[in-house]
Amino acid sequence: MLTNRQLFLLHLGQTSSAPLMLEIEKAEGAFMYGPSGEKYLDLVSGVSVSNTGHRHPKVVEAIKNQVDSYLHLMVYGEMIQSPQVKYAERLASLLPEQLCSIYFVNSGSEAVEGALKLAKRYTGRSRIIYFTNSYHGSTHAALSVQGNEKYRNAFRPLIPDTVQIDFNDFSSLNRIDDHTACVIVEPIQAEAGVILPRTGYLELIRERCSKHGALLIFDEVQTGFGRTGTMFAINRYSVVPDILVLAKALGGGMPLGAFISSREIMSSLINNPQLGHITTFGGHPVCCAAGFASLEVIVEEKLAESCVQKSALFKKELNHPMIADIRGEGLLLAVQLRSPEHVQKVIANAPSHGLVLDYFLFCSDAFRIAPPLVISDDEIKYACRQLLSLLEDTI
């Protein structure tokens, strides 16, 4: 009989030639557990998904309650489903007033697709401006606004009329003009290695978009739901986009994405043609129930606010000659080492030290620290002790 490891390689489509290959039997809080009792502290959160930890009791309860009522009923947008309505209302209550119309989809990539279509439909323009080392997903349109050629070139031709400019370069914002449909930007560039915007940069993007009638899209797929110390990065930078993209932690561990705009802008998908954007499973009631419960946990337990102190604790405890820098806000951190080779060894050897770590796509000399927001101070100190031991073994 073949093992799960062998069946994984035989029957599941692979994303790389060197998957992590950890078999997990159970996960709870900030930990994952293997079938033979292995214990791993999760410092990745499924890439900023499990903000309230694995299997938070309130999220699990919400899922079970919804399963007892109904699962899928009809394609999105046709029937009134309480989990969708409740979650949309709650999200709108936490966002700027104009961001009140929520379109639920299945993932971040699909949310980006919807946001780009919405911008083109509303403005009647086609040009999209995006940024070097940006990441917005891996579907064709998302690849078309990905700022790294390595992952794009094999899939050309991509969608036309896209313009790449350098993040944090003020002069390049002159490219935003009367032909621009939208500018799509991560308020904090995640896969670039957690690159923060320079003072006034996002404000100037907003100003240029408003001047020329272009829509501003913020991709908060990784930065949302308390990850950087505020509920959303728009709270941190006080810049309101025309369209907000959310996913990952939006579903509380279940697959869910959304693009959010004003009622006026969102209504442009209703006609000419009707069904301007369609999804069968978007806003699945179980996913919306889980997301609503997870959001309430973040608010009630003040997980966004606690991120600031937890971030400082990581930065204080991680003191080692191999660490050149620690960048980031809240619990979205990039630990920069002396070389990409060191990063590769650290990530590969992390499970033997009871840790799960991950790369950044566009920053080879740093690894990611993005644990569940529920991680305790004692767990952070344990993680740092293990990381320091791991670094010592890597020298």
Residues 317 and 379 grouped into a single domain: yes
Q: What average pLDDT does the segment 375-388 reach?
A: 98
Residues 166 and 218 grouped into a single domain: yes
pLDDT of residue 129: 98
CATH number of residue 216's parent domain: 3.40.640.10
Residues 147 and 175 grouped into a single domain: yes
Residues 165 and 271 grouped into a single domain: yes
Q: What average pLDDT does the segment 211-218 reach?
A: 98
Structural domain count, the chain: 2
Residues 109 and 237 grouped into a single domain: yes
Q: 331 is in which domain, residue-wise?
A: 4-55+302-394
Q: What average pLDDT does the segment 237-266 reach?
A: 98
pTM of the model: 0.97
Residues 195 and 169 grouped into a single domain: yes
pLDDT band per the 50, 70, 90 thresholds, residue 394? confident
Domain boundary among 282, 300, 318: 300
Domain boundary among 252, 276, 300: 300
* For residue 253, pLDDT beyond 90: yes
Residues 256 and 229 grouped into a single domain: yes
* For residue 186, pLDDT beyond 90: yes
Residues 22 and 147 grouped into a single domain: no
pLDDT band per the 50, 70, 90 thresholds, residue 219? very high
* For residue 395, pLDDT beyond 80: no
Euclidean distance between CA atoms 63 and 56, whole angstroms: 11
Residues 263 and 294 grouped into a single domain: yes
pLDDT of residue 213: 98
CATH number of residue 314's parent domain: 3.90.1150.10
Residues 114 and 132 grouped into a single domain: yes
Q: What is the 3-state secondary structure (H, E, C) of the chain?
A: CCCHHHHHHHHCCCCCCCCCCCCCCEEEECEEECCCCCEEEECCHHHHCCCCCECCHHHHHHHHHHHCCCCCCCCCCCCCCHHHHHHHHHHHHHCCCCCCEEEEECCHHHHHHHHHHHHHHHHCCCEEEEECCCCCCCCHHHHHCCCCHHHCHHHCCCCCCEEEECCCCHHHHHHCCCCEEEEEECCCECCCCCECCCCCHHHHHHHHHHHHCCEEEEECCCCCCCCCCCCCHHHHHCCCCCEEEECHHHHECECCEEEEECHHHHHHHCCCCCCCCCCCCCCCHHHHHHHHHHHHHHHHCCHHHHHHHHHHHHHHHCCCCCEEEEEEECCEEEEEECCHHHHHHHHHHHHHHCEECEEECCEEEEEEECCCCCCCHHHHHHHHHHHHHHHHHHC
* For residue 280, pLDDT beyond 90: yes
pLDDT band per the 50, 70, 90 thresholds, residue 352? very high
Residues 215 and 317 grouped into a single domain: no
Domain boundary among 251, 277, 300: 300
Residues 292 and 337 grouped into a single domain: no
Convert the pLDDT of each residue in 302-312 to its tens digit: 999 999 999 99
